[in-house]
């Protein structure tokens, strides 16, 4: 009985992995997102690896000591898929990762917002905040951070 459950779980995991590998991020998804930060954030460019470290809670301070406050959109659109794929996790894997981190007391997940306007307002008002927005969203008083 336990072997059968393990085999089913393994098959499901293999199917999920196959779906992730077969469904690449389209160019449209990459160009419709803009990474933004509070104007006091001391970077203009960030590597994909550093962005990943920030959203996984492994980088917690900007140079100079300012706390990093990552935020993300809660909506299930290309925006969320983009950030999850940029982190090399499935959406479920990202949630499980953060549940484990919270349970063990090692961190808190990025704060989520229902709308781009709410996220932009938070980033504007919170020193150290970093997030992402649809390209067409209002970015007034926000720093655009280039991912390279």
* pLDDT, tens only, 89-147: 888 888 899 999 999 999 999 999 999 999 999 999 999 999 999 889 999 999 999 99
In terms of Cβ atoms closer than 10 Å to its own Cβ (0-12, 13-18, 19+), residue 121 is middle
Torsion sign over Cα 102, 131, 43, 145: positive
Q: Report CA 53 to chain centroid distance, whole Å.
A: 10
pLDDT at 76: 65
Architecture of domain 25-147: 3-Layer(aba) Sandwich (3.40)
> pLDDT tens digits, residue range 79-89?
677 777 777 88
């Amino acid at each position: 009985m336990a072997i059968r459950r393990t085999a089913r779980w393994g098959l499901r995991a293999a199917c999920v992995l196959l779906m992730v590998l077969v469904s690449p991020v389209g160019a449209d998804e990459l160009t419709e997102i803009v990474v933004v930060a509070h104007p006091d954030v001391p970077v203009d460019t960030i590597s994909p690896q550093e962005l990943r470290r920030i959203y996984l809670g492994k980088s917690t301070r900007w140079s100079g000591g300012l706390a990093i406050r990552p935020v993300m959109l809660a909506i299930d659109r290309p925006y969320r898929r983009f950030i999850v794929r940029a982190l090399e996790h499935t959406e479920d894997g990202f949630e499980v990762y953060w549940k484990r981190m919270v349970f063990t007391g090692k961190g808190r997940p990025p704060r989520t917002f229902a709308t781009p306007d709410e996220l932009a307002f938070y980033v504007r008002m919170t020193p150290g905040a970093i997030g992402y927005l649809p390209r067409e969203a209002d970015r007034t008083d926000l720093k655009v951070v280039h991912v390279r």
